[in-house]
Structure 1
Amino acid sequence: MPVVKLTVRAVPNAKTSAILGWEEDPLAGRVLKVRIAAPPVDGKANAALTAFLAETLGLSRSKVTLEKGGTSRLKQFTIPDGTALPE
Structure 2
Amino acid sequence: MIEVTESDRGVTFSVKVVPRASRTEIAGEIGGAVRVRVASPPVDGAANDELIRLIAKRLSVARSAVEIVSGAASKSKLVRVSGVTAGQLRDALAS
TM-score (norm 1): 0.86
Secondary structure in structure 2 of the residue aligned to 1:41: coil
Unaligned runs of 5+ in 2: 1-7
* Residue type at the aligned position of 1:69: G
- Whether 1:6 aligns to 2:13 is yes
Structure 2 partner of 1:15: 22
* Residue type at the aligned position of 1:72: S
The structure that is helix-richer by fraction is 2
Structure 2 partner of 1:37: 39
- Whether 1:58 aligns to 2:65 is no
Query: CA–CA distance in 1 between the matches of 2:14 and 2:89?
Result: 15
- Whether 1:84 aligns to 2:89 is yes
Aligned-residue CA RMSD (Å): 1.2
Query: CA–CA distance in 1 between the matches of 2:22 and 2:29?
Result: 20
* Off by >6 Å, runs of 4+ in structure 1: none
Query: CA–CA distance in 2 between the matches of 1:77 and 1:45?
Result: 14
Number of residue-to-residue matches in the alignment: 82
Query: CA–CA distance in 2 between the matches of 1:59 and 1:7?
Result: 18
Structure 2 partner of 1:27: none
Structure scoring higher RCO (CA < 8 A, sep ≥ 6) equals 1
* Residue type at the aligned position of 2:13: L
Secondary structure in structure 2 of the residue aligned to 1:84: helix
